Structure 1
Amino acid sequence: MNRWLPRTYLTLVYLLLYVPIVVLVVFSFNDSRTGYEWGGLSLRWYEALLNNRAMVQAMWNSLWLALSA
């Protein structure tokens, strides 16, 4: 009985950490304007992100900072 309790706890912690990330990645490809309904797969939001000059500059700044740290 003592062996499965830590494994169960660890599994629940990992699920709590990683399930929201997976859901976020999946819904980032959603074509719908709202996050509550599925509108199919699309890269529309990534296209809008890459067409925004300020966001691209912020991404480059973050990448530069991460690599120099």
Structure 2
Amino acid sequence: MKSKFREAQRNPEATYSRPLEVLSDAELTQEEKRSVLEAWKAEAIHLQESSGEGFGGGERSSLDEIAKALSRV
């Protein structure tokens, strides 16, 4: 497993500024891209739920943009 992939999986927003950037990363396989985007989706859902409970979720990625990127993998 590549270290960039591991870091992107742990913290996608620290590695990429937008979900669609994952698609153009030539260092990742299609499977790795899907995995990173799924991790980003899970994080965005968690932040959205936290915001709904009154916790500051911080800056969130658009679930629509993540879904769009996932549909292209």
TM over 0.5: no
Higher Rg:
1
**Larger relative contact order (CA 8 Å, sep ≥ 6):** 2
TM-score by length of 1: 0.31
TM-score by length of 2: 0.30
